[in-house]
Structure 1
Amino acid sequence: MSMIGQYARVTAAELQRAVSDPEWALEMVGERMDEEADTEPEPAKARCLDIGTAWDALGFLLRRQGFPVDIVHGEEPLADAEDWGYGPPRCLTPERVRTAAEEMARLSAPSLTAGVAPDELAASKVYPAIVWERGEPLDHVGEHYAALQPFFRAAADEGDGMLIWLG
């Protein structure tokens, strides 16, 4: 089973409730994911998004760029939240989502992956290591980042926060 990076956009009120009632948040997110599984909305219209197994490579590349927001793991824990797959969810406040969206607008997917070879990710033990050890290109990492850009932009425009977890 692979570890998949998962995101859910939530209103400021939903984020506040999620922080105090993580069980409610898990149920709400599950319902949204089920609804969107049928319609597969484009990232700018989606309430939930996953970035597959690209999460660790994305985090590695963003740290190299000095990205100011942890859009891969989130920044604030949901107190008393149970494991949502591979640990409890974390969140980004609407303000941090806005900061991330502004920074993402300045950093294109090609710029993010430029000059980085798979062997560098393999040497750094970036998940999933076997992909990088085989020398596979970083194309899918750039594609997932490109999907996150409109997802975060739409969230920022609506004043939404974000729940983030590995499922």
Structure 2
Amino acid sequence: MSMIGRYLRLTRNEFERACQNPHWAAEHARALYDRDDAAATARVHETDKAWHALDFLLNRRGFPVDVVYGEADMPWPEGEDWGYGPPRILTADRVRAAADALENHTPDTLTEGVTPADLAVANIYPTVIWERGEEADWVAAHWADLARFLRVAAREGDALLLWIS
């Protein structure tokens, strides 16, 4: 089973509702991920298996917002399964801060000075690809896609739920 980084954009009202009713948040996320239309796909995003490498590379470059794991716990009832732990949140203000920082953290500079061996030694998931010597270009491509998603979320004033499933 693969571990996939997932994101859900929430309007201010949806964010408040999600924090007060986590079961609604879970159902809302499932419903959007199950739909196959433009409106739903604009609200969700995935970084596939690149999430761990993104975290490593962004931290290495001093990115000021945790756009992989989120920065705050979401109130979550025991036993609700989202995969590998409950979702975490980025408030609309922190989404804006992330979008503002994107100019200094472009996809073409994300992997500068990092080799597949560096990622393997750091035990970055999925380790098997780094051990084979595959380059991290696909991670930079996921960063470009996530950056677009963050810009739209910031422009709309949205908060984010983030989780690994």
Range class of TM-score, shorter chain: over 0.9
TM-score by length of 2: 0.94
Structure 2 contact 95–158 (Cα < 8 Å) conserved: yes
Could you list the per-position Cα deviations for residues 57-77 of structure 1 after superposition, in whole angstroms to 9, with x for gaps in the alignment? 000000001111100001111
Offset of residue 40 of structure 1? 6.1
Q: Match of 1:46?
A: 42
Structure 1 contact 105–149 (Cα < 8 Å) conserved: no
Structure 2 contact 63–105 (Cα < 8 Å) conserved: no
Q: Match of 1:161?
A: 159
Partners of 2:22 and 2:102 lie apart in 1 by 28
TM-score by length of 1: 0.93
Q: Match of 2:83?
A: 85
Partners of 1:20 and 1:116 lie apart in 2 by 42
Point out 4+ residue stretches in structure 1 off by more than 6 angstroms.
none
**Percent of aligned pairs with the same residue?**
49
How many residues align? The count is 162
Aligned to 2:26, the other structure's residue is in SS state helix
Q: Match of 1:28?
A: 28
Superposition RMSD in Å: 1.3
Does residue 1:4 correspond to 2:21, yes or no?
no
Partners of 1:152 and 1:12 lie apart in 2 by 15
Partners of 2:72 and 2:119 lie apart in 1 by 27
User: Which of 71, 74, 89 matches 1:75?
Assistant: 71
Partners of 1:158 and 1:54 lie apart in 2 by 25
Offset of residue 138 of structure 1? 0.4
Offset of residue 83 of structure 1? 2.7
Q: Which runs of 5+ in 2 are unaligned?
A: none
Amino acid at match of 2:89: C
